[in-house]
Amino acid sequence: MALVAVGQLTSTASMANNLRQCQLLVKKAVRAGARALFLPEASDYIASSGEETISLAKSAQESEFLVGLQEEARREKLPIHVGIHELGQDSRKVKNTVLWIDEHGEIAQRYQKIHLFDVDIKDGPVLKESNSVERGSQILPPFSTTLGKVASTICFDLRFPEISLALKRQGADIITFPSAFTVPTGKAHWEILLRARAIETQSYVIAAAQVGRHNEKRVSYGHSMIIDPWGTVLADLGSNDGEPEIATAEIDLELLKKIRREMPLSRRTDVYPEV
């Protein structure tokens, strides 16, 4: 078994402050004995407008946030899974990505968000992510780690089970959903969707979430979670937006194998297409 940590913070437009928050989470994860730390979507910054989102984006080599986090991973020999912004192909947009920084501080995996959050909720938020963010175009296969095979998605991808089912078919043991869910959608759907993805793929789900008020326009739901392949919530950080916090849980690949062996989910691909 391997102990993992999921982190929760309130990112703002200050990358220096966001790095300090993440450095604190690294210290807490190391102190807890975690073998890896999972951080939310957009841990580097959350801006108050699309224009500000674009203006703050930097290359991986120039981002003080990313370079600082790579140094933390290298010094502590702790893999870090973290959501950031990167420069887009089009200068008018950025990429919403999640990185796996290995224990040597190197970027070993990079996934770009496929489904963008374009919503207009009555009496709730109006967010058009596609105005400032480029869509990804590829589901990346799970990659091998000391925890098992890890697969990455981001936030709104959670609502599309096809991705998780495809990742399970490709051998995922752990599926991640780093996120910044709004409060209305979080209250209604967050835990339900995460548990559904865990149950239908018989995989561990790790969902690091932003929490609290980022600026005058944006508030996130929190409730970072770790869920086992049976759908049991092993950790839930709630909605406290004070000091950045972690929660930990064990990844038990023997339990995963037992669940998949005792309740095999055999697809009827003769009746419907394989995802």
Q: Does residue 120 surpass a pLDDT of 80?
A: no
pLDDT of residue 264: 96
Q: Average of pLDDT values for 14-31?
A: 98
Q: What's residue 124's pLDDT?
A: 65
Q: What DSSP letter does each residue of 106-155 carry, written as one string?
A: -EEEEEE-SS--EEE-TTS-EEEGGGTEEPP--PPPPEEETTEEEEE--G
The fraction of the chain above a pLDDT of 70, given in percent, is 99
Query: Any alpha helices (H) in the chain, and if so which ranges?
Result: 15-32, 50-56, 64-76, 161-169, 183-185, 191-201, 253-262
pLDDT of 127 > 80? The answer is no
Q: What is the pTM of this model?
A: 0.96
Higher pLDDT, 158 or 273: 158
Residue 210 pLDDT class (50, 70, 90 cuts): very high
Contact of 229 with 198, CB cutoff 8 Å: yes
CA dihedral 16, 110, 223, 28 (to 10 degrees): -60
Crossing angle for the helix pair 64-76 and 15-32, nearest 10 degrees?
10
Asked if 275 contacts 169 with a C-beta cutoff of 8 angstroms, the reply is yes
Q: What is the mean pLDDT of residues 188-209?
A: 98
- The yes-or-no verdict on residue 171 having pLDDT over 70 is yes
Instruction: Using pLDDT thresholds of 50, 70 and 90, give the confidence band for residue 122.
Output: confident
Least confident of 91-95, 221-225, 257-261: 91-95
Q: What's the pLDDT score for residue 123?
A: 72
**In this predicted structure, what is the pLDDT of residue 26?**
98
40-99 pLDDT tens trace: 999 999 999 999 999 999 998 899 999 999 999 999 999 999 999 999 998 899 999 999
User: Which contacts (CB < 8 Å, 24+ apart) does range 229-234 have?
Assistant: 229/198, 229/199, 229/201, 229/202, 229/203, 229/204, 229/255, 229/256, 229/259, 229/260, 230/198, 230/199, 230/255, 230/259, 231/195, 231/196, 231/198, 231/199, 233/191, 233/195
CB contact at 8 A, 40 and 80? no
Does residue 125 carry a pLDDT above 70? no
- pLDDT above 90: percentage of residues in the chain: 89
Query: Is 97 in a helix, a strand, or coil?
Result: strand
The set of catalytic residues is 41, 113, 155
Mean pLDDT across the chain: 95
What integer pLDDT is reported at residue 39 of this predicted model?
98
d(CA 257, CA 262): 9
Closest-CA residue to 136 (of 86, 95, 101): 95
Quick check: helix, strand or coil at residue 98?
Answer: strand
User: What is the Cβ-side half-sphere exposure of residue 236, based on CA atoms within 13 angstroms?
Assistant: 12
Three-state secondary-structure class, residue 81: strand
